Chains A and B, each alone.
Chain A
């Protein structure tokens, strides 16, 4: 599959979507048969071809489902440690290209919300979308000599999210090897965020709010948003010229430029986390552009995770060595974060304390000194092998940790991953976490 097929409808009813997943199941079954029959003749074959086949079938089915399924694909692609490389590569594709919807539906959406066709609103409007944005697609337009990006949401996305997630659950549960109970806590949180993402009116309010709040950060730029040209299903903003992260990396940028971009990313995230206490929780390479003058462009504020004090304070205080060296206070923090449960036996408390302490100290590594080199593979190897180790432990096949973890982890590990891809060295003391020394 080189170029995704232009697609004219999203399978929206539950039956249709289920059958899509069933079909994928059959295909994957077929891939296994193919694999083992080949293996009969060539016993040395490894599983990478099989993984590749599976990933491509899963991707095809997910990209036809669009909407939340694609979002989940995007989420899964963040956790490299949990998925074999082949899955990751295919899933990463989903950020950039998904098959577009028909032109007349776009026109219809405009007529519904503005009473006018797009060519009456803009001076120029390209009816063929330039790329997909998981629950919508982006079109190029022009008004008053300005190039604009117009994001249009697929109809019926909100409706299908809940039923989609129910379908994805067993599928994701197999892929990630997680317990169902654990997923349940997270799926609710995911559903909430996803439903927020379908609310474009909320998104445009937040986009303006956040881009204003972050306006003073160095080397970070935001498109201008046009609320008067936006509605429940449409967002109009300035078109940001630039390259996506992967394309940018292919141009072999200098270490200095990579550091600048990396620093901009770090500042952008840590300013939000520690000063605004709410964060752009979609650190996906597809949501960033590197502008020709070497700045970081941030698009898409669909997913914002707010961090309540009762999560922020215990979690980020753990990143300070003072607290993490104090076993008693650390356990208190773990209890506050429900990483250690009230009815755990002393042996269990000891076990989880050791594991989580290791996890947190890994997570906090970049914060310890005032600068950190994300190009070092050693740190990431440690991170992934730790992730793999705990994924295999039966003790971690159950719900632990408050629901806020899913997006905060996704944000921070996503950020680490991007910085790693950039091989950037960044100053990590620009916006420090606000920590407390002990808990009452």
Chain B
């Protein structure tokens, strides 16, 4: 009896040995001794299957990091770092597939279909930790902008993913450094910074705009 995992495994094996998606569900099902119906019971298409693999990575990562004892003590910044590290550690086990799947995507500004599930899970996670961070005043709550924090983290995530794909350092140590630096920079921007003060000052001047005239300038 086929399961989600066994089909995903068979699919990964197929694309990695053949270098491309199977020509049809029929060929794939036959090769793996199951019926087409069994396949469709779990997935609507190969892309949907691939999407499932990626969101599976995200889910496993979340289970992994949230299962760590220290996780509860972490700040939002550390939770994000922890997710990044755990994700790429997990991905190491399926690097060939990840490289195949990422490289196959056309270059575009919209998120490719296969990453949509991953993106949703990631954004749900990001929103959660960002809200926590805002509540504890670790992060600065900015009108309009704080809604976009999660997008900034996703951009960071996509960047690190591409970095990792091209990383050839031993043990992907360079990716670790990219994470440590990149995520920190992003969170530094989320924190209260001189820009907030500048903004406050601008607001103050706008409200009290009449002052210079009254003072005779």
Measuring CB to CB, which residues of chain A are less than 8 angstroms from any residue of chain B?
8-9, 12, 101-105, 107-108, 111-112, 117, 119, 127, 155-156
Which of chain B's residues have a CB closer than 8 A to the CB of A111?
A: 85-86, 89
Contact with A along B76-96 (1 / 0, CB 8 A): 011101101110010000000
Partner of B85, one of A8, A101, A104: A104
Flag if A12 contacts B177 (CB, 8 Å): yes
Flag if B81 contacts A119 (CB, 8 Å): no
Q: Does B180 contact A (CB under 8 A)?
A: yes
Q: Which residue of A lies closest to B81 (CB)?
A: A104
Flag if B89 contacts A155 (CB, 8 Å): no
Complexed CA–CA distance, A111 and B70 (Å): 14
Which of chain B's residues have a CB closer than 8 A to the CB of A127?
A: 70, 73
Complexed CA–CA distance, A155 and B177 (Å): 7
In the complex, given contacts A9-B180, A102-B184, A127-B73, what are 8 additional A-B residue pairs having Cβ atoms less than 8 angstroms apart? A9-B181, A102-B81, A103-B82, A104-B74, A105-B81, A107-B82, A112-B89, A156-B174
Which of chain A's residues have a CB closer than 8 A to the CB of B69?
A: 117, 119
Flag if B85 contacts A155 (CB, 8 Å): no
Which of chain A's residues have a CB closer than 8 A to the CB of B106?
A: none
For chain B residues 51-77, which have a beta carbon within 8 Å of chain A? 68-70, 73-74, 77
Flag if A103 contacts B70 (CB, 8 Å): yes
Flag if B184 contacts A105 (CB, 8 Å): no
Complexed CA–CA distance, A102 and B85 (Å): 12
Q: Which residue of B lies closest to A105 (CB)?
A: B180
Q: Does B171 contact A (CB under 8 A)?
A: yes
Flag if B184 contacts A9 (CB, 8 Å): yes
Flag if B82 contacts A104 (CB, 8 Å): yes
Complexed CA–CA distance, A103 and B81 (Å): 9
**Complex A-B: 5 CB contacts under 8 Å:** A8-B184, A9-B180, A104-B84, A112-B171, A155-B177
Which of chain B's residues have a CB closer than 8 A to the CB of A12?
A: 177, 181
Q: Which residue of B lies closest to A126 (CB)?
A: B70
Q: Lowest 5 A-B CB distances belong to which pairs? A: A108-B85, A104-B82, A104-B81, A8-B184, A119-B69
Measuring CB to CB, which residues of chain B are less than 8 angstroms from any residue of chain A?
68-70, 73-74, 77-79, 81-82, 84-86, 89, 171, 173-174, 176-177, 180-181, 184
Complexed CA–CA distance, A119 and B73 (Å): 13
Complexed CA–CA distance, A12 and B82 (Å): 20
Complexed CA–CA distance, A8 and B186 (Å): 12
The minimal Cβ–Cβ distance linking A225 to chain B, given in whole angstroms, is 23
The minimal Cβ–Cβ distance linking B123 to chain A, given in whole angstroms, is 20
Q: Which residue of A lies closest to B171 (CB)?
A: A112
The minimal Cβ–Cβ distance linking B117 to chain A, given in whole angstroms, is 24
Complexed CA–CA distance, A127 and B180 (Å): 16
Complexed CA–CA distance, A112 and B89 (Å): 7
The minimal Cβ–Cβ distance linking B138 to chain A, given in whole angstroms, is 13
Complexed CA–CA distance, A119 and B72 (Å): 13
Complexed CA–CA distance, A83 and B184 (Å): 36
The minimal Cβ–Cβ distance linking B16 to chain A, given in whole angstroms, is 23
Flag if A155 contacts B78 (CB, 8 Å): no
Complexed CA–CA distance, A155 and B180 (Å): 10
Q: Which residue of A lies closest to B74 (CB)?
A: A103
Q: Which residue of A lies closest to B67 (CB)?
A: A117
The minimal Cβ–Cβ distance linking B97 to chain A, given in whole angstroms, is 20
Flag if B77 contacts A155 (CB, 8 Å): no
Which of chain B's residues have a CB closer than 8 A to the CB of A101?
A: 180
Partner of A156, one of B70, B84, B85, B173: B173
Flag if B173 contacts A107 (CB, 8 Å): no
Partner of A8, one of B70, B77, B86, B171: B77
Q: Which residue of A lies closest to B80 (CB)?
A: A104
Complexed CA–CA distance, A107 and B83 (Å): 11
Contact A8 B82, CB 8 Å, known A107-B68, A155-B173, A156-B173: no
Partner of B68, one of A9, A102, A105, A119: A119
Which of chain A's residues have a CB closer than 8 A to the CB of B184?
A: 8-9, 102
